[in-house]
Each structure stands twice: as C-alpha cells, then as structure tokens.
Copies of this chain bind each other. A is one copy, B any other.
Amino acid sequence: MGIYTERDKLVTMEEAASTIRDGDVVAIGGGLCMREPIAMLRELVRQGRRNLHIVGTAHGFDVDFACGGGIVGAVEETHVSFEQDFGLAPNYRRACETGQVRIKENCCNTVIMQLRASEFGVPFMPMRSIKGSDEIKLHPEFKSMIDPFTGKKIVLVPALTPDVAIIHAQKADIHGNLKILPPYVADVLFIRASKRVIVTAEEIVSEEEMIEDGPTIPYYETTAVVDAPFGAHPTSCYPYYAYDREHISEYMKSAKEGADAFKNRYLDKYVYGVKSAEKYLEKVGGNVKRERLASWKEGRERWMELFTYG
C-alpha cells in the first residue's frame, strides 16, 4: 500500500536504512536461503536499530543474523532455520530462549491471509485451519465466530500491515519498477500489504530496459531503491549467484559458540568494519568467490559442488 510517484527513488543504503525506525514492523523478503536483503540488514545492524518486529513466512540466515545483530524485538515468522543443511538457527534460538526476542510464531497461510487482508483493504480474513493448534495462544488478536453462511466454526485473522517491507530484487529502475524472478515466496504480497517498500536491487537498469522486460511490480508500489550488487549474499540471488555455503559454514561456527564469539568473529569482521559493497565483496572472497557462486550455470556438476563447500 502507499502510492509513490517520485521519478527518482535512488538512495544510498545508509539513507534507506535510516528511514526504518526502532520498533517498526518489518517484512523481510525472500525465504530460507534465497534472495534475502542481507546487505540492508547489515546496515541496520551498523546503525544500531533496535526492537524490530519481524514478520514473514519460512526464513533462515536473515532472521538469525538480525537476532545475532541485536536489532530484533519480536519474531512473527513461521519457521527460522538452516533446514537440514545446518540445522537450528543459533542466534534466533538464543534470542528466544533468553527472552531477548518475543516469540510470535505464526503459520504460513495465516500470514498469507493476513497480508491479503491488508492488500485488499479489508479488516480481516476468515479461515478454517489454525483451530486445534497452540499457535492460537501466541495470537490473542485472532477472533473466533460461527460462519453465518455455513454454521461452522471459523477464525478471523486481522489484516497484517508491515510498516516497511525490505526486498532484494534482481532488477530495479530508478522510478521503482521492479523485476523479481520467481519464486517470489511472499515478496509480492509483502510489497502490496506494507506501508513502505524499500528495495535493494542486484542491478539498476534503465527504465526502457525494464519496461521492455515487463516489470513484476509497477513503480508506484515502491518507496525507495538502493543499488546493491551482491546484496543478498550469503543467500542466493539467481541467476547472479547461488548461496555461499562456505560463508554460512563459517557463520554457523561462531554463531553456535555464543553471542560474544558471534560478535567478535563475525560481526566485527563482516559488518562493523565493512561499510561499502566493494569492501564486503573483497572480505568474503572477492571476484574469485563471485565467479564461483555464478558457476552454477556451467552445468549440473558445478552446481552440485556449490552445495558441498563449507
């Protein structure tokens, strides 16, 4: 939601991040190990943002990193893990178990229906599942009623309207038109349900090229655009790069060891001391790394190799 008609929405990462306020409800785009706006999250950690209320579906590196970076106050995701690849999310666990982060766990389709209510401009959506699950304990805002059409028990879930969605797109133009390649996961819903939409883009392209290609999202739905090559690393942003299993493996080692180890061995190395995209790329392995992560295109064997590093 929100209509944004500015012709030039290009801002720096610092400027974009500074418009996100402590306590904001933030929808993070992508999912699990794919196309998450990690460069933006690093900047929010550098700026010392606090108490963000994170909403979404099934996520991984992004939410764990944000919890480890101390910027999160509540998590309303449906799943946070590194799946069977690296298992439980250490920073997220620690934050939940120490009470630093409030557990507002939700379920995927409930989130989808709540985002739809916001997108459609209606106050709630009726649902039939949720009933029977203890997840309802975490959501006292849900209401129950008897469906007047069928006489059956239904749950009303209220519209979920994030203050801001942060989305990493493959391409953007400065007017805010976006090309996002599938799978979208919940990104298109986030964009339409959120008050503000901040986009980090792997590539900024001309408006002509974008229009020729056919935007996934029209300009007026986008609040700000940041030029952010490698902006999803270490999650994937195909076709540019697969996820960086080697980097995530290093991340996991310090994150599992504890908050201090994570700060000293990960945040200091990759976040606090590294402000520009160029420096970050250099730090994580430079063009050699970038080319390796792009090598999935060269065929099945090369692609498989990328899932065995680390």
Contacts and interface: CB of A to CB of B under 8 A. Distances in A.
Interface of A: 113, 116, 120-128, 143, 145, 147-150, 152, 154, 156, 158
A125 B128 contact: no
Contact of A123 (B122, B143, B150, B158): B150
Nearest to A127: B122
B124 A123 contact: no
A168 B150 CA distance: 34
Contact of A126 (B113, B124, B147): B124
A125 to B, nearest CB: 7
18 contacts: A113-B120, A116-B120, A120-B125, A121-B128, A122-B126, A122-B154, A123-B147, A123-B149, A123-B152, A124-B126, A124-B149, A125-B126, A126-B126, A143-B149, A145-B148, A148-B156, A149-B156, A149-B158
Contacts of A121: 128
Nearest to A151: B123
Stoichiometry, copies per complex: 2
A124 to B, nearest CB: 6
A184 to B, nearest CB: 14
A39 to B, nearest CB: 30
A156 to B, nearest CB: 7
A126 B123 contact: yes
Among A121, A122, A143, A150, residue most surrounded by chain B Cβ atoms (within 10 Å): A122
A183 to B, nearest CB: 14
Contacts of A156: 148-149
A250 B154 CA distance: 53
B122 A122 contact: no
Contacts of A126: 122-126
Across the A-B interface, give the 8 residue pairs with the lowest CB-CB distance, nearest first: A123-B147, A123-B149, A122-B126, A149-B158, A143-B148, A123-B150, A124-B149, A124-B126
Given A143-B149, A149-B143, A158-B149, A125 B122 contact: yes
Nearest to A117: B126
A245 to B, nearest CB: 30
A124 B143 CA distance: 16
Contacts of A147: 123-124
A231 to B, nearest CB: 27
A110 to B, nearest CB: 12
A40 to B, nearest CB: 30
Nearest to A144: B148
Contacts of A125: 120, 122, 125-126
Contacts of A124: 126, 147-149
A152 B124 CA distance: 12
Contacts of A145: 148
Nearest to A159: B149
Contacts of A116: 120
